[in-house]
Structure 1
Amino acid sequence: MKLIVFGASGGTGRQAVVQALEQGHEVTAVVRKPENFDVRPGALEVIRGDVLLPATFRQALHGKDAVLSALGVSHKNPTTVYSEGTSSIMEAMQSAGVLRLICLSSAGLDIASDTPLLQRMVIRLVIQRMYKHAYADMARMEAAIRTSSGINWTVIRPPRLTNGPRTKAYRTAIGKPLPGAEGISRADLADYMIRSIADRAAYGQIVEISKTNDKRARTYE
């Protein structure tokens, strides 16, 4: 496939680029500072782009099979990177005739009903307040994606991210809460992003994901 990755210089985006190349896909990585992007093997094109400036990446979308969006911000200030950036990506996709979008959000937007009381309090009183601006913009992003037209989208909501290895053993729940969700490595999250491209069951759905310590759980090969 011919893939284009936004947020490619972040931890998950970089993993998505590396893994897609390893699987033989052609990849275009959109980054703000190409000189600092050190992934160079395989069929890779690196372009300088800013999701808030559609003219910087619009042409690169032509001929692509799918878009992977791993946008993120490193500050706690008000932001529109998720909402305006993703809206710009979707508009460019529609102009280029690209239909498939895999987009990262966060499990922090909602608190699962089975979350223990202490953890619930930490999420509500600490995490949601600390990242309130990012979460608010992710919520706007998800709303824009849901109301989009002509795009086969999947929004993935991961929990806490780690730098652990790719295990290919993780749990997912499509269109429903995932009980007992824990953290997941960026490598496994990127693995699922790529795998979900062809999964029609995930079209138009929010997917929750988590690592698993259960050897009986599904392992992706």
Structure 2
Amino acid sequence: MNLTVFGATGGIGREIVRQALDAGHQVTAVVRDPSRLDLRGDALEVFPADLTDPQRLGGAVAGRDAVLSGLGARGRKNAGDATRLTRTVLRAMEAEGVRRLLVVSAAPVGPAPQDDGAVDRGMRGLVSAILKDIYADLREMEAELARSSTDWTSVRPPRLQDKPLTGRYRTVVGGFPTKGRFIARADVAHAMLSMIDDEGTVKQGVGVAY
């Protein structure tokens, strides 16, 4: 497949690029600073862009089979980035007639498991209160997706870890795995790539966790 990856120098974005290249895909990595991307390959195109101009991004998404985004706020001071940047990506995709989009959100944005225990409910409530601005941003981002004409999927992980790829995790379409407290960034990337052709995840939030 011919893929475009936004946020390609971030923890999840870089893993998407690496795994996609390993799987034999053609990859366009959209980055603000090309020097921060240390991946190389004949199938990799590095596309410098500041993500403020949908017309500029048209060349990065035109003719692609799917777009995958690891964009989001890096902290509470940057809350609002996920919505703003994703809106620009959506405009570029819609202008070029590209439909498939997968983005990273977060577990608290979606519904909690019906059989969550008291510990998990408490942790979820505490984290949601501390990071309320970030989660408000992600909810608005998902609202932008729902208003778009794209075939989107929002992947909602819990606490992220920098650990090796396992390929073993649980997913719940429209919900979240019970007692799903952690997942490696590498496995989030793996899940996103595996969902590209999964019609059951289109226009859905998908919880993913160990």
Query: What TM bracket, shorter-length normalisation?
Result: over 0.9
Alpha-carbon distance change, 51 to 130 in structure 1, aligned in 2, over 3 angstroms: farther
Cα distance in 2 between the residues matched to 1:42 and 1:194: 20
Q: Which residue of 1 aligns with 2:87?
A: 87
Cα deviation digits, residues 27-82 of structure 1 (max 9, x gap): 01111111121111241011112233334422211111100011122221253221
Structure 1, unaligned runs of 5 or more: 212-221
Alpha-carbon distance change, 78 to 25 in structure 1, aligned in 2, over 3 angstroms: closer
Amino acid at match of 1:57: L
Q: Mapping of 1:166-205 within 5 angstroms?
A: 166-205=165-204
Cα deviation digits, residues 152-184 of structure 1 (max 9, x gap): 111110111111111111111112332221211
Cα distance in 2 between the residues matched to 1:68 and 1:144: 16
Q: CA deviation at 1:110?
A: 4.5
Give the CA RMSD over aligned residues.
1.6
Q: Is contact 1:5-1:69 (8 Å) kept?
A: yes
Q: Which residue of 1 aligns with 2:68?
A: 68
Instruction: Compare 180-189 and 191-200 and name the one that shifted more.
Output: 180-189
Q: Is contact 1:51-1:81 (8 Å) kept?
A: no
Q: Mapping of 1:40-119 within 5 angstroms?
A: 40-77=40-77, 79-110=79-110, 112=112, 113-119=114-120
Q: Which residue of 2 aligns with 1:36?
A: 36
Alpha-carbon distance change, 161 to 78 in structure 1, aligned in 2, over 3 angstroms: closer
User: What percentage of residue pairs aligned between the two structures are identical?
Assistant: 41
Cα deviation digits, residues 65-122 of structure 1 (max 9, x gap): 1000111222212532211211111111111111100111000224624333244333
Q: Which residue of 2 aligns with 1:124?
A: 125
Output the TM-score relative to the length of structure 2: 0.93
Cα distance in 2 between the residues matched to 1:80 and 1:176: 24
Corresponding residue SS for 2:76: coil
Q: Which residue of 2 aligns with 1:209?
A: 208
Corresponding residue SS for 2:143: helix
Cα distance in 2 between the residues matched to 1:110 and 1:95: 29
Amino acid at match of 2:121: R
Q: Is contact 2:173-2:207 (8 Å) kept?
A: yes
Q: How many residues align?
A: 209
Cα distance in 1 between the residues matched to 2:185 and 2:83: 22
Amino acid at match of 2:124: I
Amino acid at match of 1:195: S
Amino acid at match of 1:206: G
Cα distance in 1 between the residues matched to 2:33 and 2:139: 27
Structure 2, unaligned runs of 5 or more: none
Q: Is contact 2:162-2:184 (8 Å) kept?
A: yes
Q: Is contact 2:30-2:46 (8 Å) kept?
A: yes
